[in-house]
């Protein structure tokens, strides 16, 4: 293209997702051991599929209200009111939790605002902040991925607008302690800073029900959804709840962007809310135990308390180099620099069959002895 570039400068601050490049690589391998994919290995349960199919067959295929179909919103609102009892807490249906993150950035972050992010972090956080003109402020949580409230307090400046919090975490699988959750919530309330709690892995919290910072700070904006909990990743259904002023602004923005979440899938999500997924989550706790025991003594790692990831330290060199060696053995994992300013760890997704996990553990044990 001759002359002036048509590409907006805002897109130059970040590169394409490295995770997508690993997915493309997987397609070139004959028999890959794929421990890279961040989605459940089980299928959407049949009653949920059937509810979606029924909605399609009944002609529920038009746009829904931007904020979502009434029955799903009402059901979610009832559960949210019962849990938090916040008179000003409202919800809407987003086009995936990613859509919820986009709307939250657009609704609250102005150019020049600072957003605190805990490193390592979900791959979308930093690019989304940069896309709206914000400045990411990374707080290092290595080696155990715990939240140090003194570091948070020290990172706050007059420009700090928001803190992004994710527990159970991607890529580490680490779950925040109740003290960390409560302390962060109260600090954000004290400093009048927006707190986004990304709770997409709330179902995969292995030590009992997940606690939310919204319990301690009524202005917390919570983002959750059905992608991980019900394996509905391709259905693009999330939901957001928080103070009404923020939610109404996000709905307004959704009108001019995503328009609405897919209508038939919303009817499927309504059925999902009554489907018992507890056995699936118990199975994933066993997968967590399988990978932890398989790698114990071979790698340094913090045992994950949720999600379906573990984030070991490479035995030597960089994670990028380690992942290249893994690919030579047809093992796909994700280098840590995708999620972090460091390149010392790598992400394993244990959302895979036990047979695939065992193959992966065998290769990883061999790689642990290679220097």
**What is the CB neighbour count within 10 angstroms for residue 2?**
3
d(CA 306, CA 202): 8
Nearest Cα neighbor of 136 from 155, 114, 118 is 114
d(CA 296, CA 365): 10
DSSP one-letter code for 9 = G
d(CA 340, CA 119): 6
The model's pTM: 0.93
Instruction: Give strand ranges (E) for the chain.
Output: 33-34, 89-94, 114-119, 135-140, 160-166, 194-198, 221-225, 238-243, 309-310, 331-332, 334-335, 346-349
Give yes or no for a contact between 346 and 334, defined as CB atoms under 8 angstroms apart. Answer: yes
First to last CA, the chain: 46
User: Per the structure block, which two tokens stand in for 304?
Assistant: 């994950």
**What is the CB neighbour count within 10 angstroms for residue 140?**
14
SS3 153: helix
Residue whose structure tokens are 């309330």: 189
Cα 143 to its chain centre, rounded Å, is 20
For residue 16, the model assigns a pLDDT of 65
Question: Tell me: the pLDDT tens digits for 194-247?
Answer: 999 999 999 999 988 899 999 999 999 999 999 999 999 999 999 999 999 999
CATH of domain 61-272: 3.40.640.10
For residue 29, the model assigns a pLDDT of 75
Contacts of 13 (CB under 8 A, 6+ apart): 127, 130, 131
d(CA 355, CA 358): 5
C-alpha pair distances (Å), 253 with each of 103, 129, 258: 7, 16, 8
For residue 209, the model assigns a pLDDT of 87
SS (H, E, C) 76-101: HHHHHHHHHCCCCEEEEEECHHHHHH
SS3 58: coil
- 106 backbone φψ class: left, alpha, beta (φ>0; ψ -120 to 50): alpha
d(CA 325, CA 13): 29
Using only the alpha carbons of the chain, give its radius of gyration. Answer: 21
Burial of 362 (0-12, 13-18, 19+ CB in 10 A): middle
SS3 362: helix
Fold of the domain built from segment(s) 9-44+277-368:
3.90.1150
Per-residue pLDDT of the chain (371 residues; tens, 9 = 90+): 556 678 888 878 777 666 666 666 666 778 899 999 889 999 999 999 999 999 999 999 999 999 999 999 999 999 999 999 999 999 999 999 999 999 999 999 999 999 999 999 999 999 999 999 999 999 999 999 999 999 999 999 999 999 999 999 999 999 999 999 999 999 999 999 999 999 999 999 998 889 999 999 999 999 999 999 999 999 999 999 999 999 999 999 999 999 999 999 999 999 999 999 999 999 999 999 999 999 999 999 999 999 999 999 999 999 999 999 999 999 999 999 999 999 999 999 999 999 999 999 999 999 998 65
Q: Up-side HSE of residue 248: CA atoms within 13 Å toward CB?
A: 5
d(CA 33, CA 315): 20
- Percent helix, strand and coil across the chain, each rounded to 5? 40, 15, 40
The residue ranges of every structural domain in the chain are: 9-44+277-368, 61-272
For residue 18, the model assigns a pLDDT of 62
DSSP one-letter code for 137 = E
For residue 19, the model assigns a pLDDT of 63
């Amino acid at each position: 293209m001759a002359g002036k570039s048509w590409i907006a400068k805002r897109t130059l601050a970040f590169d394409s997702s490295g995770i997508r490049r690993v997915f493309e690589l997987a397609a070139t391998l004959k028999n890959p051991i794929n421990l890279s994919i961040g989605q459940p290995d089980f299928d959407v349960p049949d009653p949920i599929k059937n509810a979606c199919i029924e909605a399609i067959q009944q002609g529920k295929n038009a746009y829904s209200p931007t904020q979502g179909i009434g029955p799903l919103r009402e059901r979610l609102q009832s559960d949210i009111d019962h849990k938090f009892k916040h008179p000003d807490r409202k919800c809407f249906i987003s086009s995936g939790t990613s859509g919820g993150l986009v709307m939250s950035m657009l609704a609250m972050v102005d150019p020049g605002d600072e957003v605190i992010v805990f490193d390592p972090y979900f791959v979308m956080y930093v690019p989304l902040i940069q896309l709206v003109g914000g400045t990411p402020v990374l707080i290092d949580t290595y080696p155990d991925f715990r939240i140090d409230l003194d570091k948070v307090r020290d990172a706050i400046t007059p420009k700090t607008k928001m803190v992004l919090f994710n527990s159970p975490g991607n890529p580490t699988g680490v779950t925040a302690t109740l003290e960390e959750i409560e302390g962060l919530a109260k600090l954000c309330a004290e400093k009048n800073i927006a707190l986004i709690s990304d709770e997409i892995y709330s179902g995969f919290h292995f030590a009992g029900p997940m606690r939310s910072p919204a319990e301690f700070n009524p202005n917390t904006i919570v983002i959750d959804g059905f992608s991980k909990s019900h394996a509905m990743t391709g259905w693009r259904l999330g939901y957001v709840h928080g103070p009404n002023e923020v939610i109404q602004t996000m709905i307004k923005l959704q009108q001019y962007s995503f328009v609405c979440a897919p209508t038939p899938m919303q009817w499927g999500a309504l059925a999902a809310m009554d489907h018992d997924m507890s056995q699936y989550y118990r199975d994933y706790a066993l997968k967590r135990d399988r990978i932890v025991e398989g790698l114990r003594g071979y790698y340094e790692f913090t045992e994950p308390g949720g999600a379906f990831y573990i984030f070991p330290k490479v035995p030597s060199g960089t994670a990028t180099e380690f992942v290249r060696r893994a690919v030579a053995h047809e093992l796909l994992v994700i280098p840590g620099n995708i999620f972090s300013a460091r390149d010392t760890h790598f992400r394993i997704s244990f959302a895979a069959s036990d047979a695939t996990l065992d193959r992966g553990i065998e290769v990883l044990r061999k790689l642990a002895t290679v220097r």
